[in-house]
Structure 1
Amino acid sequence: MNYAQLLFPDFSLILCGYLVCRYTALNRPVWEQVESLVYYFLFPVLLFQSIVKSPLDLGTASSLIGAGWASGLVGIGLAYAIPHLPWLRTHVDARDHASSAQIAFRFNSFIGLAIADRLAGPQGVQLIAVLIGVCVPLFNVAAVWPMARHAQRGFVRELLRNPLIIATATGLVANLLGFAIPVWLEPTVTRLGAASLALGLMAAGAGMQLGALARGKVLAVAVIAIRHLLTPIAAWAIARALGLSPTQTTMLLAFSALPTASSCYVLAARMGYDGAYVAALVTVSTLMGMVSLSFALGVLQRL
């Protein structure tokens, strides 16, 4: 599979947002409003739709769910540990860590769904949809926690007002209750979701300043290494330990090696953190996804 070709649309939208913001009249004030639209309306609609459109069979996929949670918790634990490691502690800014820890464990669900379809067809899409549905709530909570804690905001209040978590929770409940989006409404919802992806990626590009990484190189290397090297290795070990089927193992490895979520930038910016630094990390992770997917599916899967 040509992973560079698969990731090119995401990266090109990020680049497009960067160029439009820097070289046209559509400058930062315009994109700040776009960020709000994506964060509070468009992306929650997309999350809800992504979760409810594929029925979750939690019973038959229990081992895969456990493996997804386990590999995700490894990433979360490693990300949280960064400022406490003796050889990293003095090189990591606490505020930057709070906003960028999410880079190490969140994932781009759209790329995941596209890869699953190419790797295993409808069965692969269903399996990765299960992983997305059960992991998004855990990962979003883990993303909000360090930012709310560092800013000394009420954690529960931040969760209850976070539109991404609200959309995920309601989507899971609706899925388990058998709710389906009405056929007449589905095209509208699909278009809103597509708009959120395009505008979210362009907003990340508009806020991108790769120079921001110069002041946080150690932290950047750490979160990227967790996302694209350590998490796939952990997923491979967990799949072996749980005896997952070949198809389940393939989906878990693909899931573990995905680039980070483009909405990391929007979440950090909306919570008052340095969006430029996080946007730069999202861009680096998108590029690194080509390497980590090749590593996970081309190397680890054959071991």
Structure 2
Amino acid sequence: MLEAVNYAQLLFPDFSLIACGWLLCRYTPLDRRVWDQVESLVYYFLFPVLLFHSIVRSPLDFGATSNLLTAGVGVGLCGIALSYALPFLPGIGAHIDRRDHAASAQIAFRFNSFICLALADRIAGPEGLLMIAVLIGVCVPMFNIAAVWPMTRHAQTGLARQLLRNPLIIATVTGLIANLLGLGVPTWLEPTLSRIGAASLALGLMAAGAGMQFATIARGKVLALSVLTIRHLLLPLIGWWLAVVLKLHPAQAAVLLTFSAVPTASSAYVLAARMGYNGPYVAGLVTLSTLLGVASLPFALGLIR
């Protein structure tokens, strides 16, 4: 019970910011006109700076974490495959709106990297931070590309053109290249980038709350249940199986299971909304995923015991 309380405390800031955005948009003069501009600021500037800084600031030791990296990529690829397959599954596909699926598939495999970082530090200390940094550095670019692909495919726009224009993908790929080349951020610039990162998280979550409409979730219950089941039940089970098969040591297994069970990325809403998809529906899924993390994290870490 204590663990559940701790996870609830860790996730409460995210949930409370979503709630603040919802209340401000509906009960104050800060209506949709304001939040449309906030979304643009987050998508084109704040989130890209945050992602670049997150990847560049930690050294990536691929040799020491090769098994963990293999397992993490395996979890991610399974999540991508399962989410992409939903419209084609018998009994489920007929009840899934293809356009909503294109925007929501990302919910199943993307992850909140900052909750990952906080938990990795608590679970395994500095060693855990280095492990999760490797997973973030490799998986964020892969997941961002996988998130954009269904939307570009459904809209029949060129994938290459969308990738080259997508600020989140540009930032993550640039950050990974800079890290591999040994380039870093000057010390005097670190505080500014850290504050931009904090602003992006707060405004991104509040924008998700402002755009949230639970009625849209009710109209797409099958899709919502499917992507959240993948994110919070199937991926932890796949992570546990890979940890056993690859014989990860306890700290690596704990980091992998944390990575597989955390809530989805808060930037999922901004990406879907800016690409012209059903942002309110995706915002509702981000909120539900944040709440489900309170249950899925103790469940996942309990598997390794």
Task: Name the residue aligned to 1:156.
Answer: 160
Determine if the alignment matches structure 1 residue 273 to structure 2 residue 277.
yes
Query: Pairwise CA RMSD of aligned residues?
Result: 0.6
Specify the SS of the correspondent of 2:262.
coil
Q: Could you tell me which amino acid in structure 2 is paired with residue 224 of structure 1?
A: L
Correspondence for 2:99: 95
- Counterpart in the other structure of 1:109: 113
- Describe the SS at the equivalent of 2:224: helix
The aligned amino acid for 1:268 is A
Distance 2:114 2:65 in 1: 21
Matching of residue 198 in structure 1 with residue 202 in structure 2: yes
Residue 128 of structure 2: which of 124, 139, 142 is its match? 124
> For 1:301, which of 279, 300, 304 is the aligned residue?
304
Matched, 1:46 2:63: no
| TM-score, structure 1 as length reference | 0.98
Q: Does residue 189 of structure 2 align to residue 185 of structure 1? A: yes
Correspondence for 1:86: 90
The CA distance in 2 between the partners of 1:6 and 1:285, in whole Å, is: 14
1:60 pairs with 26, 39, 64, which one?
64
The equivalent of 2:26 in structure 1 is 22
Partner SS state of residue 263, structure 2: coil
Does 2:262 correspond to 1:283?
no
Provide, for residues 16-66 of structure 1, a one-character-per-residue CA deviation record: whole Å limited to 9, x for no partner. 000011000000010000000000000000001100111001111111111
1:237 aligns to 2:241 (yes or no) = yes
Aligned mates of 1:216, 1:176 — CA distance in 2: 42
Find the counterpart in structure 1 of residue 262 from structure 2. Answer: 258
Summarize the alignment of residues 142-153 of structure 1 with structure 2, pairs less than 5 Å apart. 142-153=146-157
CA distance in 1, matches of 2:82, 2:289: 17
Q: Deviations over 1:162-210 (max 9, x none)?
A: 1111000010111111111101111111111110000000000000011
Normalised TM-score (structure 2): 0.98
Instruction: Return the alpha-carbon distance in structure 2 between the equivalents of residues 194 and 140 of structure 1.
Output: 20
Query: Residues 52-100 of structure 1: CA distance to partner in whole angstroms, max 9, x if unpaired?
Result: 1110011111111111110101110000010000110110000000000
Give the Cα–Cα distance (whole angstroms) in 1 for the partners of residues 36 and 44 of structure 2.
12
How far is 1:254 from its partner? 0.3
Q: Which amino acid aligns with 1:53?
A: R
Q: Of the candidates 248, 252, 259, which is equivalent to residue 248 of structure 1?
A: 252
Identity of aligned residues (%): 71
Q: 2: CA distance between counterparts of 1:214 and 1:258? A: 24
Aligned length: 301
Q: Which runs of 5+ in 1 are unaligned?
A: none
Question: Is the partner of 1:64 in helix, strand or coil?
Answer: helix
Over residues 142-168 of structure 1, what are the superposed CA-to-partner deviations in whole Å (9 max), with x where a residue is unaligned? 100100000001011111111111000
In 1: Cα distance, 2:64 partner to 2:298 partner: 28
Aligned to 1:139: 143
* One-letter code aligned to 1:26: L
